[in-house]
Chain A
């Protein structure tokens, strides 16, 4: 198990290095000089040169890469061109919205998907199964911004249970913040829950057809006992994979929902930074997201090994 963990950890570090090089190169290749973009089209060449020097854009590419990586390792993400504010602080502010939102949505989707998937698999072909499968079809098909607007219409405008958008910040207390994130989290969780339910159901059905389920029944376990004791844990591997992917998506891919609910999240930050050619912000946010994805994958890998003893010895 230790060897497996170390191996995964090594692959995590390598992935991070490769990702940082790729991100740096791509941003370098992108057309448009940030200095002239910031100063506008009428800027004098020597002003542009001065700003380039100030931003460090005149150094060699290798130096700038090392500066960038070294800075990130020490928590210094540089200064945004357009906001003239430390990038680290900007990201941290946004992360305090996006991360809780992603976790909230993921929890909702898991809490819905596990029981629904198990329920459907246990009643394969029955009315319960058909209803769940039908509902998941709908959940995948409904566009989440439309669903978000419906939520706003019903719960914010008509019932006035929640506010229609915005985020009051966490200073006003945990529950206030959670309340503001509830509608967005539901809107985000719906399609994810639908997908996860289907994965849970089909994975469990595959396992229920395995020989060892028949062996368990021959020992005297009821169908239900066989499902819970022998089916569930074996069915988890594909489910964990999907959960990992969903978390990464929720962290960065919530931009449309952030727009609908007017939330100051990472998605909007990166969108604004791209339109304003704020390359330092783009680089840093993308790197952070890649870091999150890689760490999530690492955690998922460890979870695989916890679930399946065969992986522990094979590594």
Chain B
């Protein structure tokens, strides 16, 4: 008999239908994945199960947990169930913990709020659970505060809180999306082990098919509040009966058609560059200690080349990027673009700055919401000694919008009128408008859904071919870098440990760190070729 059985669940918030009659079930010890793009209703399914829905929510249907229908329980009854019978792990480990309480107090709270044990026993259990999730007592005493831990460690604390009372059902909402690949692999392993060990049921919510393919027993593909396809993971991914599943799958491993790189003369040259940051003073007098975030890094990017820069958070790639963009000075070495230094006389060199532009991760946060698109995308004009005006300016706006697949009329709209993918197109239009030589993409597609991401990658490839643009593509996501670059730089602890053509690096990584990154990244199974082979063991 199944542990959780959702039957015809309909959920609407202030009359807007979010879930349209979904049904799914989980048995003990089973891992069920819900996947789909943003807005598909997968997270709302989780919150409905937890009974944590926003005000003005109406639900119909049934959510049976064991023998009780959760929809009929009162709020105090749900409070009793949450944390004890159903635990939950969230997407953002950096903000999921209370910053002013110790991790021990927060894990113990799960136990104490249910009066499950005496405080002394609860403390013991908290210690045991933290040990179990890989936070041993010598390095992670109960008195630690969240800000002293990394993202992966915080996610372990969140997991410890969720499993402290050994719930029968664990819900994980994008638990690894905000983490680096190697950390992601560890957290996924931990979740898998816990399920096997405690015979829990795990409802796993993720947009990442590669994560799912490796982990889940059963896969539900969702779109617009409906479950389109459901079945054993291997079977769903092999047969892909619904065209949407196929689209998701194709988009996940989409490779843009880059064309051959021209790669003639050197455009960007980074020579022996080091970047130091001052650390907080350790004594009132004496010099502040320095942290060297980038250590003697050297590389060239040739005109027309598409180069990826990959590394985990804290490896120095953002610091290096800021130095290349001329936003900060370097302590040692030289950065030149087309032979001219990017930083001169204590400020960014404007003649160089107008030859490079940047596109950031968050397409919404990087725009002023009060300005119209025309004003937003013409911002780089201030770099020009004599910016176009009047009809010439209008033509430039129309051309830039057309180049990224938008209409000239869009120039009069505000940014909130656009979807995430369209916003990123506008960000690219803004970068293109002064016809730069080099565009730096800083995690530019990380926040996009897979199908949108595939379209944006295609757009980038087209633009690079049409305009002969040079790209520096910074990402923690190996699969994205693989599809859009000619060459990859792998960065670790401030140093570049490998710098080779993309296909070489992925087929035959030389540095052990590169190999560990590639191994840790979840892979989509290649069912196209093994379709006739025997069923893989699940």
| Contact yes or no, B110 A219, CB < 8 A | yes
Binds B, one of A131-139, A207-215, A245-253: A207-215
| Contact yes or no, A219 B109, CB < 8 A | yes
Could you give 20 example pairs across A and B, Cβ below 8 Å?
Answer: A211-B95, A212-B95, A214-B90, A215-B88, A215-B97, A215-B158, A215-B161, A218-B50, A218-B87, A219-B83, A220-B84, A220-B110, A221-B79, A221-B113, A230-B98, A234-B99, A234-B100, A308-B99, A308-B100, A315-B280
Note all chain A residues with C-beta closer than 8 A to B75: 222
B163 nearest CB across to chain A (Å): 11
CB of B147 within 8 Å of the partner chain:
yes
Q: Which of A222, A225, A307, A315 contacts B100 (CB 8 A)?
A: A307
| Contact yes or no, B280 A218, CB < 8 A | no
CB of A229 within 8 Å of the partner chain:
yes
CB of B96 within 8 Å of the partner chain:
yes
Q: Which of B80, B99, B109 contacts A310 (CB 8 A)?
A: B99
CB of A172 within 8 Å of the partner chain:
no
- Nearest 10 A-B pairs (CB), nearest first? A220-B83, A219-B83, A211-B95, A218-B88, A220-B82, A212-B98, A219-B110, A309-B145, A215-B96, A310-B147
CB of B92 within 8 Å of the partner chain:
yes
Q: What is the chain B residue whose CB lies nearest that of A210?
A: B95
A212-B98, A222-B76 given as contacts; is B50 within 8 A of A229 (CB)?
Answer: no
Q: What is the chain B residue whose CB lies nearest that of A234?
A: B100
Note all chain B residues with C-beta closer than 8 A to A220: 79-84, 110, 113-114
Contact mask for chain B residues 458-487; partner A; CB cutoff 8 A; 1 contact, 0 none: 000000000000000000000000000000
CB of A216 within 8 Å of the partner chain:
yes
Note all chain A residues with C-beta closer than 8 A to B109: 216, 219, 221, 229
Note all chain B residues with C-beta closer than 8 A to A221: 79, 83, 109, 113
CB of A314 within 8 Å of the partner chain:
yes
CB of B162 within 8 Å of the partner chain:
yes
CB of A61 within 8 Å of the partner chain:
no
Q: What is the chain A residue whose CB lies nearest that of B75?
A: A222
Note all chain B residues with C-beta closer than 8 A to A225: 113
A10 nearest CB across to chain B (Å): 8
Q: Which of B79, B90, B99 contacts A222 (CB 8 A)?
A: B79
A217-B52, A218-B88, A222-B75 given as contacts; is B83 within 8 A of A211 (CB)?
Answer: no
| Contact yes or no, A211 B100, CB < 8 A | no
Q: How far is the CA of A211 from the CA of B92 in the complex (A)?
A: 8
A219-B82, A229-B109, A309-B147 given as contacts; is B99 within 8 A of A211 (CB)?
Answer: no
Q: How far is the CA of A217 from the CA of B51 in the complex (A)?
A: 10
Interface size on A, as a range, is 20 to 34
Note all chain B residues with C-beta closer than 8 A to A210: 95
In A269-315, the 8 Å CB interface with B consists of: 307-310, 313-315
Note all chain B residues with C-beta closer than 8 A to A307: 100
A211-B95, A225-B113, A230-B101 given as contacts; is B145 within 8 A of A219 (CB)?
Answer: no
Q: How far is the CA of A72 from the CA of B461 in the complex (A)?
A: 74
Q: How many residues of B contact A (CB 8 A)?
A: 33
Q: How far is the CA of A6 from the CA of B284 in the complex (A)?
A: 10
In B34-87, the 8 Å CB interface with A consists of: 50, 52, 75-76, 79-84, 87
In A133-156, the 8 Å CB interface with B consists of: none
CB of A64 within 8 Å of the partner chain:
no
Q: What is the chain B residue whose CB lies nearest that of A307?
A: B100
**Chain B: residues with CB nearer than 8 A to chain A?**
50, 52, 75-76, 79-84, 87-88, 90, 92, 95-101, 109-110, 113-114, 145, 147-148, 158, 161-162, 280, 284
| Contact yes or no, B96 A212, CB < 8 A | yes
Q: How far is the CA of A6 from the CA of B281 in the complex (A)?
A: 13
| Contact yes or no, A309 B162, CB < 8 A | no
A43 nearest CB across to chain B (Å): 53
Note all chain B residues with C-beta closer than 8 A to A233: 100
Note all chain A residues with C-beta closer than 8 A to B52: 214, 217-218
- Other than the known A211-B95, A215-B98, what 4 A-B pairs have Cβ atoms closer than 8 Å? A218-B52, A218-B88, A219-B83, A307-B100
A139 nearest CB across to chain B (Å): 28
Note all chain A residues with C-beta closer than 8 A to B145: 309-310
| Contact yes or no, A234 B98, CB < 8 A | yes
Q: What is the chain B residue whose CB lies nearest that of A213?
A: B98
Q: What is the chain B residue whose CB lies nearest that of A225?
A: B113
Note all chain A residues with C-beta closer than 8 A to B99: 212, 234, 308-310
Q: Which of B50, B81, B96 contacts A211 (CB 8 A)?
A: B96
A149 nearest CB across to chain B (Å): 44
Q: How far is the CA of A230 from the CA of B110 in the complex (A)?
A: 13
- Among B76, B101, B162, B284, find the residue whose CB has the most chain A CB atoms closer than 10 A: B101
Q: What is the chain B residue whose CB lies nearest that of A312?
A: B145
Q: How far is the CA of A91 from the CA of B51 in the complex (A)?
A: 62
Q: How far is the CA of A214 from the CA of B92 in the complex (A)?
A: 11
Note all chain B residues with C-beta closer than 8 A to A219: 82-83, 109-110, 113, 161-162
Q: How far is the CA of A220 from the CA of B85 in the complex (A)?
A: 10
| Contact yes or no, B98 A218, CB < 8 A | no
| Contact yes or no, B90 A215, CB < 8 A | yes
Q: How far is the CA of A139 from the CA of B87 in the complex (A)?
A: 45
Note all chain B residues with C-beta closer than 8 A to A315: 280
- Among B75, B84, B147, find the residue whose CB has the most chain A CB atoms closer than 10 A: B147
Note all chain A residues with C-beta closer than 8 A to B114: 220
Q: What is the chain A residue whose CB lies nearest that of B161?
A: A219
B99 nearest CB across to chain A (Å): 6
Note all chain B residues with C-beta closer than 8 A to A309: 99-100, 145, 147
Note all chain B residues with C-beta closer than 8 A to A234: 98-100
Note all chain A residues with C-beta closer than 8 A to B161: 215, 219
B53 nearest CB across to chain A (Å): 11
Note all chain A residues with C-beta closer than 8 A to B113: 219-221, 225
B205 nearest CB across to chain A (Å): 14
Q: How far is the CA of A156 from the CA of B369 in the complex (A)?
A: 55
Q: How far is the CA of A315 from the CA of B283 in the complex (A)?
A: 11
Q: How far is the CA of A315 from the CA of B99 in the complex (A)?
A: 17
Q: How far is the CA of A307 from the CA of B99 in the complex (A)?
A: 10
A36 nearest CB across to chain B (Å): 48
Note all chain B residues with C-beta closer than 8 A to A310: 99, 145, 147
In A220-241, the 8 Å CB interface with B consists of: 220-222, 225, 229-230, 233-234
